[in-house]
């Protein structure tokens, strides 16, 4: 199994742009961050720091465009700032709810999947684009209370819920702006 540990933070904006930031402190690819961007016209873009990371992530999820560029990350005690290609994104969250116990994969793919769909409109288990099983084990979930984003220096306006699905893969981010500490477990495909 490939295990990725880190944080996924997501928010929509009044411009119609939707962002998912993956900030991984431990993974088979080493530490890295990437941005999944759904534009108002539905175009899905992956912004990644290296081709190797982009190849791996784009094999799991669906994108029309991949941008490889340097990604600058500033981690705050309860927030993150990202500069990646044309984007500048900042998100801040509250302390959140800790889930203090480990759950087996069967629990994540059944019980937790059921409650994630009802409470957050998301999934904790599914099949990736390249037919691998993936589990999301959530360790902490926090509400994002402020977020801002600019594209080429133009403000994308206030944060909003994900009113339209981003359709990156089997699981959508929570509808409301949210940051989760997560362990993603994927059937191994790294050679």
Q: Give the single-character DSSP code of 109.
A: I
Distance CA 186, CA 189 (A): 8
Specify the range with the lowest mean pLDDT, choosing from 23-27, 114-118, 151-155: 114-118
> Would you state the pLDDT for residue 171?
81
Share of the chain above pLDDT 90, in %: 70
For residue 86, give the 3-state DSSP assignment. coil
> Would you state the pLDDT for residue 191?
46
pLDDT tens readout for residues 71-101: 999 999 999 999 999 999 999 999 999 987 8
Mean pLDDT computed over 130-149? 93
> Would you state the pLDDT for residue 88?
97
pTM for this entry: 0.91
Buried (b) or exposed (e) across 142-155, using 16+ Cβ within 10 A? bebeebbbebeeee
Question: Nearest 10 degrees: CA dihedral of 122, 81, 139, 55?
Answer: 70
Mean pLDDT computed over 92-113? 90
Q: What is the mean pLDDT of the chain?
A: 91
Q: Are 170 and 123 in contact (CB under 8 A)?
A: yes
Confidence of residue 189 (pLDDT cuts 50, 70, 90): low
Q: Which residue has the higher pLDDT, 73 or 123?
A: 73
pLDDT tens readout for residues 26-36: 999 999 999 99
């Amino acid at each position: 199994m490939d295990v990725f540990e880190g944080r996924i933070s997501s928010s929509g904006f009044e411009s119609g742009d939707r962002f998912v930031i993956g900030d991984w402190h431990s993974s088979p690819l080493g530490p890295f961050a990437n941005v999944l961007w759904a534009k108002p016209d539905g175009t899905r873009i992956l912004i990644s720091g290296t081709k190797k990371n982009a190849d791996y992530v784009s094999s799991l999820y669906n994108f029309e465009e991949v941008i490889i560029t340097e990604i600058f990350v500033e981690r705050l005690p309860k927030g993150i700032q990202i500069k990646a290609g044309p984007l500048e994104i900042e998100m801040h969250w509250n302390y959140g709810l800790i889930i203090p116990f480990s759950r087996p994969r069967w629990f994540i793919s059944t019980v937790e999947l059921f409650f994630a769909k009802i409470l957050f409109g998301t999934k904790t288990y599914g099949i990736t684009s390249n037919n691998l099983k993936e589990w999301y084990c959530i360790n902490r979930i926090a509400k994002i209370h402020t977020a801002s984003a600019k594209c080429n220096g133009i403000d994308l306006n206030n944060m909003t819920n994900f009113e339209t699905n981003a359709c990156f893969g089997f699981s959508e981010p929570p509808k409301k702006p949210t940051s989760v500490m997560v362990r993603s477990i994927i059937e191994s495909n790294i050679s």
